[in-house]
A and B are shown apart, each in its own frame.
Chain A
Amino acid sequence: MNSEAGSTVPAIMLEGVTLRRNGHVVLDRVDFSIRQGEFIGVLGPNGAGKSTLFRAILGLLPEVTGNIQVFGARPRKADRLIGYLPQMRADLLDADIRAWDFVASAQHPSRWGLPIYRGADKREIDEAICLVEGEHLAQRPLSALSGGERQRLLLAQALLGNPRLLLLDEPLVSLDPRHQANVVALIKGIQKRRSVTVLFTSHEINPLLGALDRVLYLGGGQAAIGAVNDIVTGPVLSRLYGMPIEVVHTAGHYFVVSAESGVAAESGAHHVCL
């Protein structure tokens, strides 16, 4: 559906990929390819397989068939090239730990020994915190920070090691619209400055409209990738949701609604009880 990636290898390429969880098929024979430097919004209803796709790209999913390549290599080989922001588990981040120490803990975590950060390592941590504009948070305990502030620290962690690919799993969840816009702008700025490839999952497309190059829409075990205008349409989404969907495009926003009930299909409300 899209032209070849040119001279460089694609950041991510999937060929005939099937992903399962406990034997249950999440994505079924999916193909797509993402060019280096692209900003991809990964969308789809709850349970569509966005987080599962990320785990597969990281090489952490045991049940994978087909061919996944990350910068031309098998997933686990690309470890160092990927920065990962996991979907936030709020309970986990409620620790009496200094924000700086929290960010630092993501630096070379597979090395043995004591976590001591000096010289270049320390500067890299400071720089990552600076990139997410979190200097004023650095000395405070995580337990005293808001959800959005914690998200920024998770992003700082993902930036350590100067990754070529950022997998950001729902960084906008639990943020109000103003903070959503800030986080998107922040990530867009980092993407441009460091020319990294970004995969950004979200429930909602609207906050990402100004930033994304293409969307990858998941649903019903299928995937569709392309420009927003080509993908976020009634026919494509009806196929992915497995039910009639209408897309209303107005005032620069997209509204995805179930054609039958008029309920907003995004944010998981596509499940209709008769």
Chain B
Amino acid sequence: MFAYDFMRTAFLAGLIVSIVVGPIGYFMVLRREIFAGHALSHIGFAGATGAILFGLNPIWGLLTLTVTGGVVMGRLGDRVRQRDVAIGIVLALSLGLGTLFLHFYTSYARQGTALLFGNVLGITPEALVILAVLGALSLIALGVIARPLLAVSLDPDMAESKGVSPALMAMLFLAIVAVAVAEAVQVVGILLLLSLLIAPPAAAARLTCRIWFAVLLSIPLALLVTWGGITAAYLTDWPVSFWISALAALLYLISRLLPSFLLDGARKAA
């Protein structure tokens, strides 16, 4: 299957996206910003379809709106209940807008499907370069804010007392998530994005409570899901996104069935 260019590109894209999504997803799970990540992908849908409407590369529309959305959500503060209502409404509105934009350009329905369900087999070499550059930038940004972000995620009051601004961290982190979302959408699409973003880090956190280990472990687990999904799709001719979501669910299920913190050695974890 490596005889085809598009397959090699797909595997490379899967590699890049896994490296990016693993660590960023770990912090999303830790911060319980899963819903925010889900919403960002839908906001990105409006951005991408809007860009198509104006004849632009959808990735730029996607990126512009997800990053804007991330910053705004960060500003909404940490009152989760109010915030989730606002996010939910914007999520639905974005999907509606995206549908409207697609309606104006019915000939682009295929692109709409690609956005919703992903099209990893259709990634061009140029898109691969964009993926790599954006991925590197978002990981570098995550590395720069990792220390205050970790502190604020675990204990915001304590972190604030030592000069970390929880609001600033929320904004910066969601902007980084927005880039990761824009990346992952290329592979699994908007509707199935969560499986790739959440399952590998959540499984990693079940397997080890050591933060560093879990962050790094998220990457091979994400890779298992993406590469496994592409391979299974090649063999069965079923959609890649289906396989990715199925493998992600399976991975998480297995991690729940195994004894918790298995990789930390035998110890009681009641």
Contact = CB atoms under 8 A, between A and B. Distances in A.
Contact of B269 (A101, A102, A114, A141): A141
A131 interface: no
B90 interface: no
Interface in A65-97: 76, 79, 82, 84-87, 92-93, 95-97
B264 A139 contact: yes
Contact of A112 (B148, B159, B211): B148
A89 to B, nearest CB: 8
Interface in A221-272: none
A115 B157 contact: no
Interface in A126-182: 139-144, 154, 157-158
B144 A113 contact: yes
Contacts of B160: 58, 60
B79 interface: no
Interface residues of A, number: 36
Interface stretch (A103-111, A188-196, A206-214): A103-111
Interface in B108-158: 143-148, 150-152, 154-158
Contact of A97 (B154, B161, B268): B154
A109 B165 CA distance: 10
Among A95, A112, A158, max chain B CB count under 10 A is at A95
Interface string A1-15: 000000000000000
A79 B209 contact: no
B151 A144 contact: no
A29 interface: no
A101 B154 CA distance: 10
Contacts of A35: none
Contacts of B268: 144
A98 B146 CA distance: 17
B164 interface: yes
B145 A105 contact: no
Contacts of B151: 105-106, 109
A111 B152 CA distance: 12
B146 A106 contact: no
B209 to A, nearest CB: 4
Given A60-B160, A157-B158, A114 B143 contact: yes
Interface of B: 30, 143-148, 150-152, 154-164, 205-206, 209-212, 214, 260-261, 264, 267-270
Given A102-B154, A109-B159, A113-B147, 15 more contacts: A58-B160, A84-B157, A84-B158, A92-B154, A97-B30, A101-B209, A105-B150, A109-B147, A109-B151, A109-B152, A109-B164, A111-B148, A114-B146, A115-B146, A141-B269
Q: Report the 7 A-B pairs with minimum CB-CB distance, sorted nearest first.
A: A109-B151, A86-B157, A141-B209, A110-B163, A84-B161, A98-B209, A115-B147
